Structure 1
Amino acid sequence: MSISEEERIHAALILGAGAAGAAAAAHLAATGHHPLILERDFSPRIKPCGGGMAASVQQWFPFPLDPAVEQVIRRVDFSWCLSDPVVAELPGDAPFWIVRRETLDQLLLTEALSAGAELIRGVDVTDIRRSGRIWTITAEGGRQWKSRSVVIADGSGSPWPQRLGLGAKQPQTASTMSVRLEGRGHLADGCARFEFGLVKQGFAWAFPLAGGVNVGVGSFIGKQDADPEEVLAQLLPDLGFPPDAGIRQRGQLRVWNGHHRLDGDGLLLVGDAASLCDPFLAEGLRPALMSGCTAAAHLDRWLSGEQKDLRGYSRAMRDNWGESMAWGRRIAQVFYRFPGVGYQLGIKRPTAPQRIAQILSGEMGYGDIAQRVIKRLLLK
Structure 2
Amino acid sequence: MFDCIVVGAGPAGSTTAYKLAQQGHSVLLLEKHQLPRYKPCTGAIAPSVASWLDFDITPAIDQKLRRVRYTWQLGDPIEADLETDEPMWIVRREVFDQCLVDQALKAGVALKDGTSVVGIAFKDDGWTVQTEQGPYAGRYLVAADGADGPMAQWLGFNPEKVRQAYVLEIDLPAPLENPTMAFEFGLVKQGCLWNFPKRQRHSLAITRFLGDTLKNPKESLATYAQSLGSDLEAGQLYSHGLKLWNGNRPLHTQQALLVGEAAALVDPMTAEGIRPAIFSGLKAAVAIDRALGGDTLALAHYSETIHEEWGNDIQWSQRIANIFFRMPKIGYRVGIKRPTATKRLGQLLAGEIRYADLANRVIKRLSGSFLPGRET
Distance 2:325 2:154 in 1: 31
**Could you tell me which amino acid in structure 1 is paired with residue 3 of structure 2?**
A
TM-score when normalising by structure 2: 0.93
Q: Tell me which amino acid in the other structure corresponds to 1:371.
A: N
Q: Which residue of 1 aligns with 2:28?
A: 36
CA distance in structure 2 between the partners assigned to 1:180 and 1:372 by the alignment: 37
Q: Distance in 2 between matches of 1:362 and 1:332?
A: 19
Quote how far apart the aligned CAs of 1:14 are.
0.3
Q: Deviation of residue 357 (structure 1)?
A: 2.1
1:202 corresponds to 2:210? no
Other-structure match for 2:344: 355
Q: Which residue of 1 aligns with 2:244?
A: 255
Unaligned runs of 5+ in 2: 370-376
| TM-align CA RMSD | 1.8
Conservation of the 8 A alpha-carbon contact between 2:170 and 2:201: yes
1:355–1:275 distance in 2 versus 1, CA, 3 Å: same
Partner residue in 1 for 2:80: 88
Q: Who is 1:286 aligned against? A: 275
Paired-residue identity, %: 41
Distance (Å, rounded) in 1 between the aligned partners of 2:220 and 2:103? 39
| SS of residue paired to 1:333 | helix
Q: Which residue, out of 195, 198, 208, partners 1:219?
A: 208
Cα shift readout 1:153-209 (whole Å, capped 9, x = no counterpart): 01111222133233xx24133321101221289965452111111111111111121
> Do the aligned partners of 1:38 and 1:119 also contact (CA within 8 Å) in 2?
yes
Distance change in 2, residues 1:203/1:125 (3 Å): same
- SS of the residue corresponding to residue 234 of structure 2 reads coil
Whether 1:103 aligns to 2:95 is yes
Q: Quote the Cα distance in structure 1 between the aligned partners of 2:301 and 2:177.
A: 43
Correspondence 1:136 to 2:128:
yes
Of residues 304-313 and 316-325 in structure 1, the stretch that sits farther from structure 2 once superposed is 304-313
| Residue 72 (1) aligns with residue 61 (2) | no
Q: Residues 116-155 of structure 1 correspond to what in structure 2 (within 5 A)?
A: 116-140=108-132, 143-155=134-146
**Contact 1:72–1:190, Cα closer than 8 Å, also in 2:** no
TM-score using structure 1 length: 0.92
How far has the Cα of 1:69 moved from its partner? 0.4
2-side partners of 1:40 and 1:145: how far apart? 14
1:164 corresponds in structure 2 to 155
Q: Is the 8 A contact 2:221 2:232 kept in 1?
A: yes
SS in 2 for 1:12: strand
Counterpart in 1 of 2:3? 11
Aligned-pair distance for 1:34?
2.6
Amino acid at match of 2:286: A
What SS does the aligned partner of 1:344 have? helix
Q: How far has the Cα of 1:91 moved from its partner? A: 2.5
Q: Which residue of 2 aligns with 1:4?
A: none
Q: Distance in 1 between matches of 2:45 and 2:309?
A: 16
Report whether the alignment pairs 1:264 with 2:253. Answer: yes
Counterparts in 2 of 1:25 and 1:98: CA distance versus 1, 3 Å: same
Cα separation, 2, equivalents of 1:172 and 1:278: 14
Displacement of 1:42? 3.0
Matched, 1:329 2:318: yes
Give the distance between the partners of 2:297 and 2:251, measured in 1 at CA: 16
Say whether the 8 Å CA contact 1:262–1:274 is kept in structure 2: yes
Tell me the CA shift for residue 132 of structure 1.
4.0
Query: What does the per-residue CA deviation read over 1:89-119, in whole Å, with 9 as the maximum and x for residues that have no partner?
Result: 2124143210100101111111111110001
Asked if 2 retains the 8 angstrom alpha-carbon contact of 1:190 and 1:208, the reply is yes
1:349-368: CA deviation from partner (whole Å, max 9, x where unpaired) = 22222112222222222211
AA partner of residue 60 (structure 1): W
**Counterpart amino acid of 1:335?**
F
CA contact (8 A) 1:158 1:273 kept: yes
The reply on whether 1:176 has 2:168 as its aligned counterpart is no
Secondary structure in 1 matching 2:315: helix
1:225 Cα deviation after fit: 4.3
1:299 and 2:291 aligned: no
**Matched residue, 2:373:** none
Q: Distance in 1 between matches of 2:178 and 2:162?
A: 31
Q: Distance in 2 between matches of 1:225 and 1:377?
A: 24
| Structure 1 Cα separation of the partners of residues 304 and 64 of structure 2 | 32
Which moves more between the two structures, 235-244 or 286-295?
235-244
* Structure 1 portions without partners, runs of 5+: 1-8
Matches of 1:325 and 1:188, distance apart in 2: 35
Secondary structure in structure 2 of the residue aligned to 1:57: helix
Alignment-mate amino acid for residue 165 of structure 1: G
Distance in 1 separating the partners of 2:75 and 2:121: 54
Q: Does 1:52 align with 2:41?
A: no
Of 335-344 and 260-269, more deviation after overlay is shown by: 260-269
1:313 aligns to 2:302 (yes or no): yes
Equivalent position of 1:6 in the other structure:
none
- 1:258 deviation in Å? 0.8
Separation in structure 2 between the aligned mates of residue 329 and residue 119 of structure 1, nearest angstrom = 36
